[in-house]
Structure 1
């Protein structure tokens, strides 16, 4: 009898939680404004889901050796497509990115906590409801790996070195899948 009572109580709690969640969803009670921070439980749920999903999705991707040539080629692409939101070394993100929620991470600091495969996956597939676009549909894997190589090199890079990358017209080219890449 105790087991049946436990199961019934557990089922009732699950149903109650689902009714409350549905009430919040349908009523619009949760403020989705980017100017309002997430409550701690929602922030934890979003962050934990993000980290675990990226880790799982990227786990099957074998990263190539990231070469200095890839870092060089990815510099202009990063500066053209990523730096406005993520900033650079000694370079702030664009003003509009300050109002994004979640705020795009400063990759010069946070990239050391991501594997090359995770960076590749994020650039290729983007992140739902974050403002992070998927570049895979418009850029071939070579370009995406070059960006990943540059991002992975950023944590150990000086501001002077960051500024020198991409100078002279390298990078910054946008290629559709299958197009050539002339770096």
Structure 2
């Protein structure tokens, strides 16, 4: 290798090392200097919002299982509705039902699933419910809920877009959830018809 190429290679390596050291020092300054406002009330910059949203969507899509081959029946949907109303409605609302007021103070604000669920497949909703999402208030329910319960919830959630308030209300009010009982009869009466858009 001639001297000019050697100098070029040495300069490139030195530049990469210097850049990494500078980034490390900036990260330390941000972490320990109190520069970044971590308060939920201050919101994200547009760049941070794009980065976290894009990362979250790509991560979920890469890890989510395929949708079940067999479509859930009315009993599974009704069981998912009861679990949703007990566990999810206070953050995500429902047709004609606003989320609890305190959820507006979360960052990012939990999506209103009557619209946002249209962007997700059932398997993706199942994965989110099972694993939760870092850097949000979305908890992981997989530790204390069985897969059947979470599939019921996911199947119900993906039916929320286009569901009317009357259809939603037909599933009754929230009851304490069973955390693993995916049977259809443990929380009250079935609705008079499956509320499917």
Report the TM range for the smaller structure's normalisation: 0.7 to 0.9
Pairs within 5 Å for 1:99-110: 99-110=105-116
CA distance in 1, matches of 2:51, 2:42: 16
Q: 1:173: how far off?
A: 4.7
Does residue 118 in structure 1 map to residue 118 in structure 2? Answer: no
**Would the alpha carbon gap of residues 44 and 18 (structure 1) be closer, same or farther in structure 2, given more than 3 Å must change?**
farther
Match of 1:127 among 133, 136, 144: 133
Structure whose CA Rg is larger: 2
CA distance in 2, matches of 1:22, 1:36: 22
Measured against aligned partners, the alpha-carbon deviations of 1:4-49 in whole angstroms (never above 9, x if no partner) come to 3223212211221121012101223211111111122222221122
Would you identify which runs of 4 or more consecutive aligned residues in structure 1 move more than 4 Å?
none
Q: Hey, what does 1:67 align to over in structure 2?
A: 72
CA distance in 1, matches of 2:149, 2:162: 21
Match of 2:38 among 32, 35, 46: 32
Whether the 8 Å contact between 1:81 and 1:172 is mirrored in structure 2 is no
Aligned length: 177
Whether the 8 Å contact between 1:89 and 1:158 is mirrored in structure 2 is yes
CA distance in 2, matches of 1:150, 1:72: 8
Match of 2:22 among 16, 19, 32: 16
Q: Hey, what does 2:178 align to over in structure 1?
A: 175
Q: Secondary structure at the match of 1:102?
A: coil
Match of 1:50 among 56, 59, 70: 56
CA distance in 1, matches of 2:52, 2:182: 38
Whether the 8 Å contact between 1:111 and 1:155 is mirrored in structure 2 is yes
CA distance in 1, matches of 2:49, 2:32: 20
Unaligned runs of 5+ in 2: 1-6, 186-197
TM-score scaled by length of structure 1:
0.87
Worse overlay, 93-102 or 1-10: 1-10
CA distance in 2, matches of 1:151, 1:56: 20
